[in-house]
Amino acid sequence: MDPEEIKNRYFLQLAYKGTNFHGWQVQPGKVTVQGEITRALSTALKEEITVTGAGRTDTGVHARYYIAHFDSRQKGLEKDDKLLYSLNSILPADIAVYRIISVPHTAHARFDALSRTYQYFITTQKDPFSQETAYLYHVELDVPLMNRACRILKQYRDFASFSKVNTEVKTFHCNIMEAKWTQKGRQYVFTIRADRFLRNMVRAIVGTMMEVGEKKTGLEDFRQIIETRDRSAAGKSAPAHGLFLTDIKYPAHIL
């Protein structure tokens, strides 16, 4: 598509269950969410579409709220209910598009995001209906202690200790705005909101904090783990299937 022909930019609000996908980003020979969205849009609009997402999610990670953007020659797509129906008919059952939103042509799903919120779900009781969306873990966790670790976490900006090694990022700095654990019955939920996240960061934090909750790692040890800036010092990453992207915030003039 000639770049000069592109005059209309749209945001897509969607959700997906990540179990059957190799993450968001297109990979050769792999089924990905980005690949399925691109195929569906190109088919429905009968033009070659490029889709840009708000960020990567790893294999098996879910999104209750996700934003992507695309450009089209066609105007008024945000008002086209038939297009929404068509997209959801083409897409597999584990991806759903909820809204098409007209945005300024400079709006960017990834770079304009002000914050992202993730939640991690742990259950202590076997449940056939949550085996792909919550981590089954039978050990009781100390929620007040893990919340004290959350307060320590928010005192820092450099989270190299919770990042995959050999990544191409220029900085390991993130501004964590919220981090907390809650418990309801047999379920533990970790909620974290930040301006950006490193690869594998949330799962590494969860895995390390679970060791705090089991009293295998003390609070001062947790602080030392952050300060070492060494991934090998932190705990194991929690499994992908318990992790959800649940919210993304944008400036009011965009969304």
Is 34 exposed, middle or buried (CB count within 10 Å of its CB: 0-12, 13-18, 19+)? buried
DSSP string across 206-250: HHHHHHHHTTSS-HHHHHHHHHHT-GGGS-PPPPGGGEEEEEEE-
**Cα distance from N-terminal residue to C-terminal residue, the chain:** 26
58 part of the active site: yes
Report d(CA 111, CA 133) in Å as an integer.
28
Is 78 exposed, middle or buried (CB count within 10 Å of its CB: 0-12, 13-18, 19+)? middle
**In the structure, how many helices (H) and strands (E) does the chain have?**
5, 9
Instruction: Name the active-site residue from 2, 58, 80, 221.
Output: 58
The three-state secondary structure class of 120 is strand
Torsion of CA 60, 197, 168, 133, to 10 degrees: -10
Q: Which two tokens stand for residue 13?
A: 């609000």
Region for 76 from its dihedrals, namely left if φ exceeds 0, alpha if ψ lies in -120 to 50, beta otherwise: left
Report d(CA 117, CA 189) in Å as an integer.
13
**Which residues are annotated as catalytic?**
58
